[in-house]
Chains A and B, each alone.
Chain A
Amino acid sequence: KAGVTQTPRYLIKTRGQQVTLSCSPISGHRSVSWYQQTPGQGLQFLFEYFSETQRNKGNFPGRFSGRQFSNSRSEMNVSTLELGDSALYLCASSWGHTNTEAFFGQGTRLTVV
Chain B
Amino acid sequence: DQQVKQNSPSLSVQEGRISILNCDYTNSMFDYFLWYKKYPAEGPTFLISISSIKDKNEDGRFTVFLNKSAKHLSLHIVPSQPGDSAVYFCAASAEGGGADGLTFGKGTHLIIQP
Stretch at the interface among A14-22, A40-48, A61-69, A70-78: A40-48
Q: Tell me which residues across on chain B come within 8 A of A33, comparing CB atoms.
A: 101-102
Q: Once the chains bind, are A98 and B93 in contact (CB under 8 Å)?
A: yes
Q: A106 CA to B38 CA in the complex, in Å? A: 10
A1-29: CB near B (< 8 Å → 1, else 0) gives: 00010100000000000000000000000
Number of interface residues of A (CB under 8 A): 28
Tell me the total A-B contact number using a CB cutoff of 8 A: 72
Contact B106 A42 (CB under 8 A): yes
- Residue of B at shortest CB range from A48? B101
Q: Which residues of B contact A (CB under 8 A)?
A: 31-32, 34, 36, 41-46, 49, 89, 91, 93-107
Q: Is the CB of B43 within 8 A of A45?
A: no
Which residue on chain B has the smallest CB distance to residue A103? Answer: B46
Q: How far is the CA of A59 from the CA of B30 in the complex (A)?
A: 18
Which of A35, A42, A48, A92 makes the CB contact (< 8 A) with B97?
Answer: A48
CA of A107 to CA of B93 in the docked complex: distance in angstroms?
21
